[in-house]
Amino acid sequence: MKVIPFDSVSSTQDVAKSYIKNREELVIWAREQKTGRGRFQREWHSPEGGLYFSLLLFPRPEEIFTIHLRLFLSAVRGIEELTNISCLFKWPNDIVYEKKKLGGILLEREGEAVIAGCGINVNNETFPDSLKENAVALKSIVKREIAIPELLEAIIRHFENSPPFPLILSEVRKRNWLKGRYVRLNSAPHRLEGRVLDIDEEGKLILSLPEGGILTLVSGEVEKVYEE
């Protein structure tokens, strides 16, 4: 995929939208974002030193639900290739290392286009007070600088050479950090508690409820993971 680099942008997601009319799949990469965002329009801390990119894709309708898991697996394989550290998946979209957030994925649809954004804390070790306890950067883990262009190249290469989705799902399930944990979730308009059983064939979370029964969640936010 063609990579279009920028020094600084408002958001790689927004820049990618401006290229939709060309109907060409490509990658928007920025050294920093001024108004980077995550899910629910939350600010994504995006100073220089991190990796911030968006894939502009035109998938078939039946492929759309696979993209975030495909991008997650490509990202963690790229990270492992350069650092030898193993990362886990925190449903629905976080890359975690030893309970701390290393990165995240954001999917947005614009007509026939899907824009898959990814942010990874690489060499940016300083975080706002609100994030210090729960965020980590690759540099802090491996005690050395990581070449961001090489990491991006590795992730894109893994994405373009993704295995069939059943193999992606199998690998993501092995990396499911929430599996077996008791959690509280916000799945609007409801707040739920239960034990995470697995991720189903469409990337949905399977939750065992305390009063009995099984619930499958399309989307939601994990508000708390209980220590047991």
What six digits make up the tokens of 72? 């997650």
How high is the pLDDT of residue 159? 98
Three-state SS sequence of the chain: CEEEEEEEECCHHHHHHCCHHHCCCEEEEEEEECCCECHHHCECCCCECEEEEEEEECCCHHHHHHHHHHHHHHHHHHHHHHHCCCCEEECCCEEEECCEEEEEEEEEEECCEEEEEEEECCCCCCCCCCCCCCECCHHHHHCCCCCHHHHHHHHHHHHHCCCCHHHHHHHHHHCECCCCCEEEEEECCEEEEEEEEEECCCCCEEEECCCCCEEEECCCEEEEECCC
Asked whether residue 8 carries a pLDDT value surpassing 80, the answer given is: yes
pTM assigned to the model: 0.92
What six digits make up the tokens of 139? 């540099």
Residues 101, 89: Cα–Cα separation, whole Å = 10
Between residues 34 and 18, which one has the greater pLDDT? 18
pLDDT in tens, 40-62: 456 657 888 999 999 999 999 99
What six digits make up the tokens of 154? 């590795």
Q: Where do the domains of the chain lie?
A: 2-174, 182-225
Does the domain at 182-225 match CATH 2.60.120.10? Answer given as: no
CATH of 2-174, one of 3.30.420.40, 2.40.30.10, 3.30.930.10, 3.30.2010.20: 3.30.930.10
Residue 145: HSE in the Cβ half-sphere, 13 Å Cα cutoff? 4
pLDDT in tens, 121-176: 999 988 887 778 889 999 999 999 999 999 999 999 999 999 999 999 999 999 99
Order of strands, sheet of 113-120, starting from the edge strand that comes earlier in the sequence = 2-9, 26-33, 51-57, 113-120, 100-110, 94-97, 88-90
Enumerate the β-bridge partners of residue 215: 207
